[in-house]
Amino acid sequence: EVQLVESGGGLVQPGGSLRLSCAASGFTVRSHWMTWVRQAPGKGLEWVANIKQDGSEKYYVDSVKGRFTISRDNAKNSLYLQMNSLTAEDTAVYYCLRKDYGSGGRGDWFDPWGQGTLVTVSS
Amino acid sequence: DIQMTQSPSSLSASVGDRVTITCQASQTISSYLNWYQQKPGKAPKLLIYAASSLQSGVPSRFSGSGSATDFTLTISSLQPEDSATYYCQQSYDTRDTFGQGTKLEIK
């Protein structure tokens, strides 16, 4: 069974840092682009960052550029998100996702979804 | 960035109704469009990928169509368990984006 389990969330003060981890099982992360998506309380889904299979390409939403760093350890089948200079606007459930794909170049999609990890930025 | 606009933002329909949700991209995205369902307190779930392919295990009353900039999610006969928020998402760009969501309520 394909599974993604996020951890590392919690309460942090504004300006603080947090490192999220994601343990993958049932598949090999080295075969997939990986992604972080977040959802603020009562709000919609927001894509945060993508990382290529070998880590050579990384992309971020503008609001986190320069503050967040996505990384991966293919040997540990894991994904990470280092979050610095946190603000209240970063309060959200953070989901670790794999970009799944089929044949024929039809794009990719997020499946499955774990339960996420809650990050709360507050004094 | 590619902007995704869903409409309506919310709707209320009766069991058995045919329901349509639309998603418009700010530029062409071919068929790189996915739909997700999220029920309260739960993680999202993939319904439709590549604009029109039904994810395994998803009821056949769900269908997707469209290409380029205009896409549609249709529920052919609404069921009580379909009460949820639905999101579209484009994967055409290396920077993915989601629509703002459509909240579907059952009358």
A114 vs B43, B49, B98: nearest CB: B43
Cβ–Cβ below 8 Å for A107 and B45? no
A116 at interface of B, judged by CB pairs closer than 8 A: yes
pLDDT at A103 over 80: no
Please give the pLDDT value at position A106: 80
* pLDDT band of A104, cuts 50, 70, 90: confident
Q: Give DSSP secondary structure letters for A4-72.
A: EEEE--EEE-TT--EEEEEEEESS-GGGS-EEEEEE-TTS-EEEEEEE-TTS--EEE-GGGTTTEEEEE
Cβ-Cβ contacts under 8 Å, B101 against chain A: 44-45
* pLDDT band of A105, cuts 50, 70, 90: confident
Tokens of A10: 């919690």
Scanning every residue of chain B, which has its alpha carbon at the shortest distance from the alpha carbon of A95? B43
Return the sign of the alpha-carbon dihedral for residues A3, B81, A44, A84. negative
pLDDT in tens, A36-65: 999 999 999 999 999 999 999 999 999 999
* CA–CA distance, A77 with A94 (Å, rounded to integer): 18
3-state secondary structure of A91: coil
Which residues sit opposite B49 in a β-bridge?
B53
Cβ-Cβ contacts under 8 Å, B87 against chain A: 44-45
Q: Tell me which amino acid residue B2 is.
A: I
B44 at interface of A, judged by CB pairs closer than 8 A: yes
Cβ–Cβ below 8 Å for B32 and A106? yes
Cβ-Cβ contacts under 8 Å, B43 against chain A: 95, 113-116
A44 vs B1, B92, B98: nearest CB: B98
Please give the pLDDT value at position A86: 98
B64 at interface of A, judged by CB pairs closer than 8 A: no
Q: Tell me which amino acid residue A26 is.
A: G
* pLDDT band of A102, cuts 50, 70, 90: confident
Mean pLDDT of A17-28: 97
Cβ–Cβ below 8 Å for B34 and A61? no
User: Can you give the pLDDT of all 107 residues of chain B as single tens digits?
Assistant: 999 999 999 999 999 999 999 999 999 999 999 999 999 999 999 999 999 999 999 999 999 999 999 999 999 999 999 999 999 999 999 999 999 999 999 99
